[in-house]
Structure 1
């Protein structure tokens, strides 16, 4: 047998070792996911979740560093070199009542892991186990990895807090994933470049003059002004933006008044703005302000438009996306690694890391069978737990492959 064939066989050994490790530890990986699912904590309060994960990691001999406020973890591998490649998981839950009838449903009233963060954490935990096992086997050289278990993803705070704590200092690459109930288990979605939207929260305050509902001429009606403004936004914002640039403005809250027969003096409207480019977001906000000034002058009200930056857009680095694609293809077959044709207009605070380090994430299919699965943020959301092993293998293989290439 030639040296090339010998090397090829040796090269494949570490990949097989990764898969074997994940399969051997599957019960433990699933146990982590189910515990977290039963014990959810909301954004900003993930202290017990952090302690639980720290305890599990310390049991397998991994040192952990707690994030600000003892929420979240920065975990480095045993390599003596500075960590260069990382994995990220999020750990916070949502204020949603779990309506599933399972043995592992949430035990906390009004809280559940409806976005898959419990599964993200368990998947990354499985990748850690595989990386440790493969390093001990001697099949690969020392791997300079770091793992981030991040709090407060849903509020766009956790990633920024860990960045400020030095979590990505020295890192050159960062991988992550997101559960996708629109895809069957055994498949993934991948995309190079634009992956999610640049997001802003909007708040519009309209101040008028209240009056009796029978005498609207005595009022400067803020409800009428808001109705006109929202209609103007939906009509004119699309007409002022390049048709090839997606812009989504949605309003989810309108608060005004206490009585049906009283015109209030104040209305507060909240919503979101989503684009794929920061420049487009800025231009759209300027247009909203112009529309507000026009409606205010016409209605005699005072209108204030405020915006709060959410996560920027996730941009998947081409080289790192190629590594994820190759790892997934080796495990699942090319036919099950699907190109995502368009970016999502949802937000993802993984983007806050990408201001400092190149990264890439993929969508991991977690639907059981061909039946439609409850979507993310649904009180019935659940996963096919076989996805945990698939995600762990892809992530661990990608970390090792990056190290072998760099």
Structure 2
């Protein structure tokens, strides 16, 4: 049967790659690399691009790729698709699958292996079907490292990944949605995230004589208990805010009161006013505990990631692509923003963009993101690649008219 439209051409190309995409994802899943170490992953993806003749360049760090046509497209605005490629430092607990991580203490528990695979599929399809597309389509693919640490998007931007980009799209897998379903949301999608570092300085001494010391551990315990009570009572209950202390380090001996305790955590919010009130409450708690215990408490709010705010036009184009791929009745709305973080937000400072959720749960469901048993229904790979490729064309000049 003759291919008549660009959508049929893209779909046919991606369908032919289904087994290839599954093998790519399984290879990436079995050979994960954590943030800032994605050298082999970059080379593996670069090899596939080179084999297909796709123009690309590896960024100076050797951990990330910018791909897409340049020749004959000077001055035309580009639509970018982005995928993250890093894994998490956690043990893969899946024992019965052949693609279980071979690297102790590292696994793809957030679906970045799937993101990279779907973006690769869309990239190869856009390249191979270029003669079927409605005119010249200036697209770009960004394979980004270090999303989990919040460093990768900035690195790619500094390497020129966003030069000339007029819009950017991305997918994130969602194990709470069954495969074949998609969820979208215009406006705020994820939270503003700030890292916390708290240093509590006291005066060390013998554990049997606490009255001769200033115990930083006791002060730290009071501080954590205090902010968990004070912050929720200081912010409008209609404005979601969460503060969590996830790391406490102090002392090395059971009979010594240490000089200091160091804590780390996260503050997440959906609005500037709520964040500022939460920060003020945390600082006030630090001053109160310091006055009560004699310990010095220093609180640092470190730069994290901005909220992802989906552009309504880009989001609508992605939604249309999803309608065409899975059907309108299988594209739902995300009712509330997530308090998770995503450094995709950094790209949105430079161009409008949108991120959608792609269902990856099988009939019996899958464990949640960041679970040691995380996995996906691999039928989602073809669907994601189709949505990304169609979105790029729809957002490019002249694309939708010939669909």
Q: For the superposition of Structure 1 and Structure 2, which TM-score range results when normalised by the shorter chain?
A: over 0.9
CA distance in 2, matches of 1:195, 1:296: 37
Q: TM-score, normalised by structure 2?
A: 0.94
Residue in structure 2 matching 1:21, options 1, 13, 21: 13
CA distance in 1, matches of 2:46, 2:131: 21
CA distance in 2, matches of 1:161, 1:78: 21
Pairs within 5 Å for 1:317-328: 317-328=311-322
Residue in structure 1 matching 2:33, options 35, 41, 53: 41
* Contact persistence 1:134–1:140 (CA under 8 A): no
Name the stretch that deviates more: 273-282 or 161-170. Answer: 273-282
Residue in structure 1 matching 2:381, options 364, 367, 388: 388
Compute the displacement of 1:316 (Å). Answer: 0.5
1:120 aligns with 2:115: yes
- Partner of 2:131, secondary structure, is helix
Pairs within 5 Å for 1:225-264: 225-264=219-258
1:132 aligns with 2:99: no
CA deviation map 1:135-159 (0-9, x unaligned): 223x421110001000111111110
Unaligned stretches of 5+ residues in structure 1: 1-9
Q: 1:83 to 1:52 in 2, by over 3 A?
A: farther
Report runs of 4+ in structure 1 exceeding 4 Å deviation: none
* Contact persistence 1:68–1:161 (CA under 8 A): no
CA distance in 2, matches of 1:313, 1:168: 19
Name the stretch that deviates more: 10-19 or 174-183. Answer: 10-19
**Equivalent residue for 1:403?**
396
- Partner of 1:70, secondary structure, is coil
CA distance in 2, matches of 1:372, 1:36: 22
**Equivalent residue for 2:203?**
209
CA distance in 2, matches of 1:135, 1:141: 9
**Equivalent residue for 1:55?**
47
* Contact persistence 1:76–1:83 (CA under 8 A): no
CA deviation map 1:139-190 (0-9, x unaligned): 4211100010001111111100111111101111000011111110000111
Pairs within 5 Å for 1:158-169: 158-169=152-163
Pairs within 5 Å for 1:34-183: 34-77=26-69, 80-81=72-73, 82-100=76-94, 101-137=96-132, 139-183=133-177
CA distance in 1, matches of 2:261, 2:353: 41
* Contact persistence 1:197–1:347 (CA under 8 A): yes
CA distance in 2, matches of 1:215, 1:228: 20
- Partner of 2:396, secondary structure, is helix
Unaligned stretches of 5+ residues in structure 2: none
CA deviation map 1:196-227 (0-9, x unaligned): 01101111111112233333222222222112
Compute the displacement of 1:324 (Å). Answer: 1.0
CA distance in 2, matches of 1:107, 1:227: 39
